[in-house]
Each structure stands twice: as structure tokens, then as C-alpha cells.
């Protein structure tokens, strides 16, 4: 089972690495678009139409697609004043418990995000300025939540196999 967990972990790392580069590319595109918009606005009195709406889509995309990587890197803010004073076994149990709760919440976000995405798709609504279907930005919510769920599930398996290894 330990080898399976390692393979899952490597697979999730590859996915998150690809998304990390994708998000960096989105950020670079946003930087270029913002620069062109400001230059067009102040130098030529011709701003780029839809810049604000594009930023409204891309900023959440960067956050939602990067949240799994942040969890994998264990870079979320944690309060360790109390936790650091606990024994190793209790810390592992507490990490397992909090990851389980986070997994439950991320699965709920995935489910409701998917329901809303399907609703937007059926309505056929579009963002007026840039003519992008509303369901596409909304689709980022279940995608991001599924990646976070995958990372949390792998981490829980790692906690479980670590605890099982300590018991032997």
C-alpha cells in the first residue's frame, strides 16, 4: 500500500507542477494585458475592452487552480502554538482530522460548484463585454476543489500509512 501512496503522491505532484506553470503563464498574460491596457488608455486614449472582465476570470483561476499546490506544499497558514506542544502521535492524529474535515468541505464545494456550472451551461448566459460563456469561469470552482480533494486524500493516506508504520 505504501508504494501505491507514493505513486499517487508523485502523480498529484506532476499535476500540481503543470498547474503551477499554467498559473504563472496566466499571471504573465495578466501583466501584459494590464500594461497594454494602461498604455492604450493613457497614451492613445484607447483602452483594451474587456480587461476588467478578463481579470475577473483570471484572478480566481490562479487562486483556484493553485490551491492544491499550496496544500501540497503545506503553505497554508497554521497556528502551531498549541499543536507544537503535543506529542508526535497527537500531531499526526490532529493533522489527519483537520485534513479529513478539509476534504469533506472541498468535496461539498466541488459538488455545489458543479451544480452551479451545469446551471450556467443550461442558461447559456455569456459575459457581455468579452462574450465568454458564464459556465467556463464557474467550471474553475469544481476543478480547483477536485484537485484540492485529491491532494487532501493523498495526504490522509500518507498520514494513515505513517501511523500504521509507527505501530509496527
Supply the pLDDT for residue 88.
81
Which string of DSSP letters, residue by residue, matches 24-35? HHHHHHHHHHHH
What is the length of the chain?
168
- Name the E strands within the chain: 126-127, 132-133
Q: pLDDT tens, position by position, for the chain (168 residues)?
A: 688 888 888 999 999 999 999 999 999 999 999 999 999 999 998 999 889 999 988 998 899 989 888 888 887 777 778 787 888 888 888 888 889 999 999 999 999 999 999 999 999 988 888 888 989 889 999 999 999 999 999 988 888 787 666 655
3-class DSSP state for residue 130? coil
The pLDDT tens digits of the residues spanning 138-164 come to 999 999 999 999 999 998 888 878 766
Amino acid at each position: 500500500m505504501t508504494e501505491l501512496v507514493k505513486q499517487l503522491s508523485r502523480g498529484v505532484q506532476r499535476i500540481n507542477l503543470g498547474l503551477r506553470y499554467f498559473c504563472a503563464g496566466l499571471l504573465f498574460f495578466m501583466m501584459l494585458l494590464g500594461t497594454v491596457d494602461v498604455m492604450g488608455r493613457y497614451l492613445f486614449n484607447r483602452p483594451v475592452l474587456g480587461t476588467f472582465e478578463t481579470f475577473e476570470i483570471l484572478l480566481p483561476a490562479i487562486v483556484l487552480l493553485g490551491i492544491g499546490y499550496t496544500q501540497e506544499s503545506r503553505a497554508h497558514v497554521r497556528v502551531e502554538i498549541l499543536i507544537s506542544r503535543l506529542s508526535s502521535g497527537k500531531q499526526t492524529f490532529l493533522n489527519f482530522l483537520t485534513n479529513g474535515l478539509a476534504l469533506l468541505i472541498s468535496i461539498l464545494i466541488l459538488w455545489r460548484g458543479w451544480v452551479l456550472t451545469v446551471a450556467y451551461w443550461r442558461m447559456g448566459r455569456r459575459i457581455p463585454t468579452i462574450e465568454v460563456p458564464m459556465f467556463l469561469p464557474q467550471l474553475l470552482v469544481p476543478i480547483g476543489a477536485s484537485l484540492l480533494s485529491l491532494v487532501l486524500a493523498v495526504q490522509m493516506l500518507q498520514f494513515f500509512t505513517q501511523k500504521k508504520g509507527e505501530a509496527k
